[in-house]
Homo-oligomer: A and B are copies of this chain.
Amino acid sequence: MIIDKKVIDPLSTYNMALKKIEESGIIPTKQRRVLAKILFEKGNRHISAENLFDEVKREDRKISMATIYNTLKQFTNLGLIREIVVDKNKSLYDTNNKPHYHLYIEDEGKVHDIPTDNINLNLPSVPACLNLHNIDVIVRVRSLKDDKKR
């Protein structure tokens, strides 16, 4: 299996995000710029609200959880990031907005991208009364070492 670790021009992704924020009518405040930087400068990420909070702190800044949640929702609505539902206990946000699937390592809580061309998904067409929104594919695995658990 090939796990996608390719970083697709992170700087331009960040700049594109900033541009989208400006164009969208919301103010590119300090907080939003800091969060966009963390989200997009390092390439494709799968990050939780709490992780984001910690990374902000690591840069000697502070952004409240309320703002982080608000911003994540706004960025999601702008199509900059995508919420991925792999575990009901914690929302993860995916900065890769190109089509791809996910490999979820359950005992580590880690998510990796799988390029769509690694999965041959031959879906019959959706009925006319329904609007296809997305197809989520989550390959759930466990590290062998933790196999006894659960």
Binding site for B on A (CB under 8 A): 1-2, 85-88, 91, 105-106, 118-127, 129-144, 147
Q: Are A121 and B120 in contact (CB under 8 A)?
A: yes
Q: Are A140 and B136 in contact (CB under 8 A)?
A: yes
Contacts of A138 in B (CB 8 A): 135-136, 138
Q: Are A120 and B118 in contact (CB under 8 A)?
A: no
Q: Please, which residue of chain B has its CB at the minimum distance from the CB of A137?
A: B137
Q: How far is the CB of A143 from chain B (nearest CB, A)?
A: 7
Q: How far is the CB of A33 from chain B (nearest CB, A)?
A: 26
Q: Are B125 and A1 in contact (CB under 8 A)?
A: yes
Contacts A88-B88, A119-B123 given; indicate if A142 touches B137 (C-beta within 8 A). Answer: no
A121 is contacted by which of B106, B119, B134 (Cβ under 8 Å)? Answer: B119
- Known pairs A88-B91, A132-B140, A133-B141. 4 more at Cβ < 8 A? A121-B122, A130-B144, A133-B142, A136-B136
A122 is contacted by which of B88, B120, B131, B142 (Cβ under 8 Å)? Answer: B120
